[in-house]
């Protein structure tokens, strides 16, 4: 046989004492009723207090010591009821300022949906503790503190701005309509924020957090967590573990933390920071900022024409642009960068990088390392930087600078393009291909091939090979002992200083600057004056004297 025990403290006597100049009136009377029923033990008490100059404060406390259903509501006369019954001496809802419910041990069901603002007009403090056991708690219309305690609890917070603690166990918490603060604590928890600006913390365990509507803050905690911000400007933090963070609609901030995380911004202007680990980051629609940080990361700028900023950080990263004019900084490491359909700015950093600029007029700086750069359609600018680089153009008028190292530069096969290819230090190979191209060798023993159409080819200070190929070309040997072949067309060839070897074609104009090797020089008297011009070695392969025109030019021109 189980007992049902209720204890009331009612305002029937008074005592007065004075403290710091204030009168404090408190009255307490206890009435004890015992009845025997086939149910668990319930303890119900009220505390009434009043101080001078204030209204009466009344607290209702309900405690279950076992598995119990506690449904708090009011009857037609707005008296407080528990499970449909009046609690001893009637207590009117309008008299209560505080409500406390303690579930105790066992699987309790606590329902406060009947605690409404229209009936409990003075209530401003609601506290519920489910205690041990797998409890189900449903909150009221007021701001309340709900604690599940130990066990796998289900908590629905209600309409107010609630503070919810799931406690130990695998808990399921629904925030409701207010601006709620929810902490899952220990266990594999599922937390949902609701309609307002909520704060959700998963704690330790593998948690699922959903902000729903509002500008929410989600913290996964230790474990493998799934965080979804929902609609609104949300802040998501994965903390430790291999987490999945989805910003949803709105301008979101997501931080992956430690672990191999997956971050998705969704619609809106998002800021996504993957943290340490091998992460996958997708900005989604909007102007996003993506940061891979340490690890081998994959970062995708988005799906629309918005302009994005993507930073790979340390590690071997893959950066992909979309249709916007994006800024892509791969950072250190052997990175892969893919530009999009618009005019992108690409910086690869140190490492052996692979870059495809995509369509649009792109700017590429590969940085240090042996890099490969493939320029897409558009008028692109590419700098290889340090290392032995390969740069290839496509359609459009491209500008390529190999930088230091032994570089290979390919102009595009577009007859309408005007490519500019130049090297710095190193023994470089520059191939103009189709189009009216400009090739500049600078330092090093360079191989310069203008390709088809009318090109300008300049050798630089060392021993270069210059090929004009088809078209009306201008070839300048510069310093060093150069080998020059003009190719077909009406070409202009200047050997420059050094002992040059020139193979000319019909209708070419060849100007020799004197070389330093007397054994390979010849003399020719100028018929219009007394000057004598020293000619370098001339190869008349397949030509007659009538097919060569000599322009004599005095020194100091």
Specify the pLDDT at position 375: 95
149 and 250 in a single domain? The answer is: yes
505 and 470 in a single domain? The answer is: yes
What would the mean pLDDT of 252-265 be, rounded to a whole number? 96
DSSP 8-state assignment for residue 513: P
- Strands 501-503, 483-485: parallel, antiparallel or unpaired by DSSP? parallel
252 and 183 in a single domain? The answer is: yes
What does the DSSP assignment read for 484-496?
EE--SSS-EEE--
Q: Please state the domain count of the chain.
A: 4
Three-state DSSP string of 433-471: CCCCCEEECCCCCCEEECCCCCCEEECCCCCCEEECCCC
152 and 245 in a single domain? The answer is: yes
Residue 120, domain member (yes or no): no
Q: What is the mean pLDDT of the chain?
A: 85
Instruction: Report whether 328 contacts 299 (CB < 8 A).
Output: no
Instruction: Report whether 152 contacts 133 (CB < 8 A).
Output: no
Residue 105, domain member (yes or no): no
pLDDT class of 550 with cuts at 50, 70, 90: low
What would the mean pLDDT of 376-397 be, rounded to a whole number? 94
pLDDT class of 89 with cuts at 50, 70, 90: confident
Q: Is pLDDT above 60 for 243?
A: yes
Instruction: Report whether 272 contacts 289 (CB < 8 A).
Output: yes
Residue 282, domain member (yes or no): yes
Residue 100, domain member (yes or no): no
415 and 490 in a single domain? The answer is: no
What would the mean pLDDT of 99-108 be, rounded to a whole number? 93
Rounded distance, CA 389 to CA 486, Å? Answer: 27
Query: In terms of pLDDT, which residue wins out, 100 or 15?
Result: 100
Which tokens is 290 given?
């993506």
pLDDT class of 544 with cuts at 50, 70, 90: low
What would the mean pLDDT of 447-453 be, rounded to a whole number? 94
What would the mean pLDDT of 274-290 be, rounded to a whole number? 96
Specify the pLDDT at position 233: 98
Specify the pLDDT at position 41: 53
Specify the pLDDT at position 42: 64
Rounded distance, CA 46 to CA 42, Å? Answer: 14
- Kindly report, residue by residue over 517-538, the tens digit of the pLDDT: 332 333 333 333 333 333 444 5
Specify the pLDDT at position 49: 53
Query: In terms of pLDDT, which residue wins out, 1 or 100?
Result: 100
- Kindly report, residue by residue over 310-353, the tens digit of the pLDDT: 999 999 999 999 899 999 999 999 999 999 999 999 999 999 99
428 and 459 in a single domain? The answer is: no
Rounded distance, CA 221 to CA 185, Å? Answer: 9
Rounded distance, CA 376 to CA 230, Å? Answer: 37
Q: In percent, how much of the chain has pLDDT > 70?
A: 82
Lowest mean pLDDT among 1-5, 115-119, 488-492: 1-5
196 and 266 in a single domain? The answer is: no
Q: In percent, how much of the chain has pLDDT > 90?
A: 72
Rounded distance, CA 90 to CA 239, Å? Answer: 51
Instruction: Report whether 492 contacts 476 (CB < 8 A).
Output: no
209 and 241 in a single domain? The answer is: yes
276 and 352 in a single domain? The answer is: no
Name the domain boundary from 229, 258, 287. 258
pLDDT class of 303 with cuts at 50, 70, 90: confident
Residue 173, domain member (yes or no): yes
pLDDT class of 46 with cuts at 50, 70, 90: low
Q: Is pLDDT above 60 for 117?
A: yes
234 and 265 in a single domain? The answer is: no
149 and 248 in a single domain? The answer is: yes
- Helix or strand or coil: residue 145? strand
pLDDT class of 43 with cuts at 50, 70, 90: confident
From the DSSP assignment, how many helices (H) and strands (E) are in the chain? Answer: 0, 58
pLDDT class of 39 with cuts at 50, 70, 90: very low
436 and 460 in a single domain? The answer is: no
Specify the pLDDT at position 523: 32
Rounded distance, CA 232 to CA 216, Å? Answer: 7
Which tokens is 165 given?
């603690």
Q: Which residues touch 233 (CB under 8 Å, ≥6 apart)?
A: 215, 250, 251, 252, 268
Instruction: Report whether 457 contacts 476 (CB < 8 A).
Output: yes
Domain extent at residue 264: 260-325
User: Among 545, 483, 542, 476, which residue's Cα sits nearest to residue 511?
Assistant: 476
pLDDT class of 418 with cuts at 50, 70, 90: confident
* Count of CA atoms in the C-beta half-sphere (13 A) of 390: 7
Name the domain boundary from 427, 447, 467. 447
Q: Is pLDDT above 60 for 31?
A: no
- Helix or strand or coil: residue 364? strand
Residue 473, domain member (yes or no): yes
Specify the pLDDT at position 15: 31
Name the domain boundary from 385, 414, 447. 447
Three-state DSSP string of 305-354: CCCCEEECCCCCCEEECCCCCCEEECCCCCCEEECCCCCCEEECCCCCCE
Residue 242, domain member (yes or no): yes
Q: What are phi and psi of 547, to 5 degrees?
A: -95, 0
CA 383 to chain centre: 26
DSSP 8-state assignment for residue 356: E
Rounded distance, CA 191 to CA 139, Å? Answer: 15
Query: In terms of pLDDT, which residue wins out, 28 or 131?
Result: 131
Instruction: Report whether 475 contacts 451 (CB < 8 A).
Output: no
Residue 494, domain member (yes or no): yes
Instruction: Report whether 215 contacts 195 (CB < 8 A).
Output: no
End-to-end, the C-alpha distance of the chain in Å comes to 123
Q: How far is CA 475 from CA 75, 381, 398, in A?
A: 103, 24, 20
Query: In terms of pLDDT, which residue wins out, 543 or 515?
Result: 515
């Amino acid at each position: 046989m189980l007992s049902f025990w209720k204890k009331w403290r009612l305002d029937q006597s008074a005592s007065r004492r004075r403290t710091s100049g204030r009168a404090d009136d408190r009255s307490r009377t206890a009435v004890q009723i015992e009845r025997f029923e086939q149910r668990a033990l319930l303890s119900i008490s009220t505390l009434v207090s009043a101080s001078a100059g204030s209204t009466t404060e009344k607290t209702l406390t309900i405690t279950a010591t076992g598995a119990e259903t506690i449904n708090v509501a009011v009857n037609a006369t707005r008296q407080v009821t528990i499970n449909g019954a009046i609690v001893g001496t009637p207590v009117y809802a309008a008299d209560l300022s505080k409500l406390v419910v303690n579930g105790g041990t066992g699987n309790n069901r606590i329902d406060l949906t009947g605690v409404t603002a229209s009936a409990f007009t003075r209530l401003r403090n609601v506290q519920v503790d489910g205690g041990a056991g797998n409890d189900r708690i449903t909150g009221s219309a007021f701001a309340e503190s709900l604690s599940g305690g130990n066990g796998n609890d289900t908590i629905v917070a209600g309409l107010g701005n609630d503070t919810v603690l799931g406690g130990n166990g695998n808990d399921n918490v629904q925030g409701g309509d207010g601006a709620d603060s929810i902490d899952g604590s220990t266990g594999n928890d599922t937390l949902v924020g609701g309609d307002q600006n909520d704060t959700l913390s998963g704690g330790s365990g593998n948690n699922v957090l959903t902000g729903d509507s509002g500008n929410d803050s989600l913290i996964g905690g230790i474990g493998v967590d799934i965080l979804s911000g929902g609609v609104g400007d949300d802040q998501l933090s994965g903390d430790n573990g291999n987490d999945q963070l989805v910003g949803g609609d709105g301008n979101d901030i997501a931080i992956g933390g430690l672990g191999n995380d997956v971050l998705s911004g969704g619609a809106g202007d998002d800021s996504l920071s993957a943290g340490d680990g091998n992460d996958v980051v997708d900005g989604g629609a909007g102007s996003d900022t993506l940061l891979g940080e340490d690890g081998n990361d994959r970062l995708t700028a988005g799906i629309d024409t918005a302009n994005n900023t993507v930073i790979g950080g340390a590690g071997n990263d893959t950066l992909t642009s979309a249709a916007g004019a994006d800024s892509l900084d791969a950072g250190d490491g052997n990175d892969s960068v893919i530009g999009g359909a618009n005019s992108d700015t690409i910086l690869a950093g140190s490492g052996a990088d692979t870059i495809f600029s995509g369509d649009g007029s792109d700017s590429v700086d590969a940085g240090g390392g042996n890099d490969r750069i493939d320029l897409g359609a558009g008028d692109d600018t590419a700098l290889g930087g340090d290392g032995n680089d390969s740069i290839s153009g496509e359609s459009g008028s491209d500008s390529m600078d190999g930088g230091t190292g032994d570089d290979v530069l390919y102009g595009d096969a577009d007859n309408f393009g005007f490519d500019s290819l130049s090297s710095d230090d190193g023994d470089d190979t520059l191939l103009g291909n189709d189009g009216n191209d400009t090739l500049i060798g600078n330092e090093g023993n360079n191989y310069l091939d203008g390709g088809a159409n009318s090109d300008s080819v300049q050798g630089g200070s060392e021993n270069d090979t210059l090929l004009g190929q088809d078209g009306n070309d201008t070839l300048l040997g510069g310093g060093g002992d150069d080998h020059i072949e003009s190719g077909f067309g009406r070409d202009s060839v200047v050997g420059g200083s050094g002992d040059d070897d020139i193979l000319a074609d019909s209708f070419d104009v060849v100007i020799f600057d004197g070389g330093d090797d007397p054994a390979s020089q010849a003399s020719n008297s100028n018929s219009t004056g007394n000057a004598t011009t020293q000619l370098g070695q001339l190869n008349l392969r397949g030509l007659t004297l009538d097919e060569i025109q000599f322009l004599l030019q005095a020194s100091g021109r």
